[in-house]
């Protein structure tokens, strides 16, 4: 019997994994979750004896168990093929006394590729399955056109566009905050080719874009309009369980690599430090722990938008604060959506509490978590943050001392990790979420070189020269691409924009 998913805010409505992936978000605005995550531990000895693809199969078989072995194998082979610049997919390398988990070897040079090369394939399989709803009460989506709607703080957008471009029966609309992503990130999106893509800048910050995107899924009038044209909406943000599940793989695979390198013995616990914005990346680590990975601590690293640091210290989540524009823009977030799933699990699966807390966040911008729930969270999670100045210093010191070039998001995590007392025998892994060349001007400036009068591509060239490293070809060639997408909208106009995009892409 396949495991059912339900909303974090109610257990009344259940679906199977395929339907949860197609819908993206539950009808009540909650996030899909299953209650048996810890009941299917992976065989650690088997994980330590195999490669990334085999572990991906084991992880996805456990979390998405209504997919057949043949379906998962087909998805995995397509997602982790020649579009990656290393067969290891997510290699682990030394960085001083710690380890770096390199998550940027995919087609868009960011960790989002691990999930967003997989998600379109999972969706395509589910869409083709005429019996996807099974015996549960679910909105029929099989065979219909699907419009992916996603907001991005920088990296998700391009990774989603690359994954979904020209996929039959699917379209994708990406919203990004105008002027609040790096030039490279913006160019990656606005030069995107594909007959089924729509890209639009939003006047405001990422939270404005994300909240407006969430409102689109709750817009019954829009849903009715699109349904009449044979189209349904879904999401590629990390709120989609199909985004989250593939990320669990690299935690297990990193552990296997450390065992193979002799850095740990099987069964020894490992600490992971994760640059965190929407909480999906670090939550995948928590899922891995629940599935049997020996995790000592998960350290949540934030930039100056340190709402998560404050939350883990105080138990109060308060988004009512100034939004800081930093040099680590993918983490410039004040509403970390995936935290909702952790609150559900840590509260003993209390849907009423989660629903109440999320309503408080919407209506008052603040909520307080009961002390016993925070105690459970703190058993696994620590937190810290880095200012831009500290981020720059970490980029500089990491290059000077380790001869490793890191991007600003990775630098945030390394700064936080370096401030944590090292326990004897504790092996620690810093997640590296993007190529430093996606943020060439900031990295170059952090190394002490003037960027005055230089655009991002001149900075990229100079950075390559002084470090004797090479930028990924997909980044260095961006300047030769033609800008295709120039749309800009107010946040109140996003629903109508999606309607227009559906009409254009699906000719309805």
List residues with catalytic annotation: 112
Minimal CA–CA distance to 252: which of 433, 74, 429? Answer: 429
Quickly tell me which residue has 């919203």 as its tokens.
Answer: 175
Phi–psi pair at 376, nearest 5 degrees: -65, -45
Distance of alpha carbon 307 from alpha carbon 52, whole angstroms: 33
Closest CA to 239 of 134, 136, 160, 143: 160
Label residues 275-304 b or e (16+ Cβ within 10 Å = b). bbbbbbbbbbbbbbbbbbbebbbbbbbbbb
The backbone torsions φ and ψ at residue 420, rounded to the nearest 5 degrees and listed phi first, read -85, 130
- What is the C-alpha to C-alpha distance for residues 438 and 20, in angstroms, rounded to an integer? 32
What's the rounded Cα separation, in Å, for the pair 307 and 316?
9
Question: For residues 306 and 159, what is the distance between their CA atoms, to the nearest angstrom?
Answer: 25
The structure tokens 């996003």 sit at 494
**Taken in order 363, 366, 372, 377, is the CA torsion positive or negative?**
positive
Nearest Cα neighbor of 24 from 223, 192, 269 is 223
Greatest CA separation found in the chain?
63
CB atoms within 10 A of CB 405: 18
User: Are the C-beta atoms of residues 193 and 165 closer than 8 Å to each other?
Assistant: yes
Name the token pair of 194: 């594909």
What SS3 state is found at 4?
A: coil
Interior/surface letters 355-382, b for 16+ CB within 10 angstroms, e for the rest = bebbeebeeeeebebeeebbebbeebbb
C-alpha–C-alpha distance, residues 277 and 255, integer Å: 23
Strand segments, DSSP code E, in 320-433 are 366-368, 381-385, 427-432
Backbone angles phi, psi at 115, to 5 degrees: -90, -35
């Amino acid at each position: 019997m396949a495991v059912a998913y339900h909303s974090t805010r109610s257990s009344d409505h259940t679906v199977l994994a395929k339907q949860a992936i197609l819908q993206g978000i539950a009808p009540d605005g909650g996030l899909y979750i299953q209650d048996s995550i810890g009941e299917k531990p992976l065989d650690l000895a088997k994980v330590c004896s195999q490669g990334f693809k085999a572990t991906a199969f084991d992880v996805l078989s456990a979390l998405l168990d209504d997919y057949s072995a043949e379906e998962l194998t087909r998805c995995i082979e397509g997602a982790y093929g020649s579009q990656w610049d290393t067969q290891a997919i997510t290699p682990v390398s030394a960085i001083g006394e710690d380890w770096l988990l390199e998550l940027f070897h995919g087609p868009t040079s960011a960790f989002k590729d691990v999930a967003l090369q997989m998600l379109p394939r999972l969706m395509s399989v589910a869409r083709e399955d005429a019996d996807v709803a099974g015996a549960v009460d679910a909105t029929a989506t099989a065979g219909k056109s699907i419009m992916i709607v996603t907001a991005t703080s920088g990296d998700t957008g391009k990774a989603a566009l690359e994954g979904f471009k020209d996929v039959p029966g699917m379209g994708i609309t990406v919203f990004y905050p105008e002027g609040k992503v790096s030039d490279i990130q913006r160019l990656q999106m606005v030069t995107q080719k594909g007959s089924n893509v729509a890209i639009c800048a939003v006047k405001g910050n990422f939270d404005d874009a994300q909240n407006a995107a969430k409102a689109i899924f709750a817009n019954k009038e829009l849903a009715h309009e699109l349904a009449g044209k044979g189209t349904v909406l879904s999401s590629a943000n990390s709120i989609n369980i199909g985004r989250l599940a593939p990320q669990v793989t690299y935690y297990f695979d990193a552990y296997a690599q450390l065992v193979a390198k002799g850095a740990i013995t099987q069964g020894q616990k490992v600490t992971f430090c994760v640059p965190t914005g929407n909480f999906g990346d670090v939550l995948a680590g928590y899922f891995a722990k629940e599935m049997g990975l020996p995790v000592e601590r998960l350290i949540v690293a934030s930039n100056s938008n340190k709402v998560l640091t404050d939350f883990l210290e105080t138990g109060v989540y308060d988004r009512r604060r100034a939004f800081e524009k930093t040099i680590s823009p993918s983490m410039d977030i004040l509403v970390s959506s995936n935290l909702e799933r952790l609150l559900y699990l840590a509260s003993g699966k209390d849907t009423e509490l989660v629903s109440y807390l999320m309503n408080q966040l919407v209506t008052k911008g603040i909520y307080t978590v009961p002390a016993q729930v925070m105690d459970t969270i703190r058993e696994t999670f620590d937190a810290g943050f880095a200012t831009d100045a500290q981020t720059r210093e970490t980029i500089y010191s990491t290059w000077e001392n380790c001869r490793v070039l890191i991007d600003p998001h990775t630098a945030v995590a390394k700064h936080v990790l370096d401030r944590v007392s090292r326990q004897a025998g504790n092996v620690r892994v810093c997640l590296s979420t993007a190529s430093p060349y996606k943020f060439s001007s900031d990295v170059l400036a952090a190394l002490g070189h003037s960027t005055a009068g230089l655009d991002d591509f001149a900075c990229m060239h100079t950075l390559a020269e002084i470090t004797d490293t090479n930028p990924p070809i997909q980044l260095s060639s961006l300047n030769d691409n033609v800008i295709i997408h120039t749309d800009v909208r107010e946040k109140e106009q996003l629903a109508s924009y999606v309607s227009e995009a559906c009409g254009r892409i699906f000719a309805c």
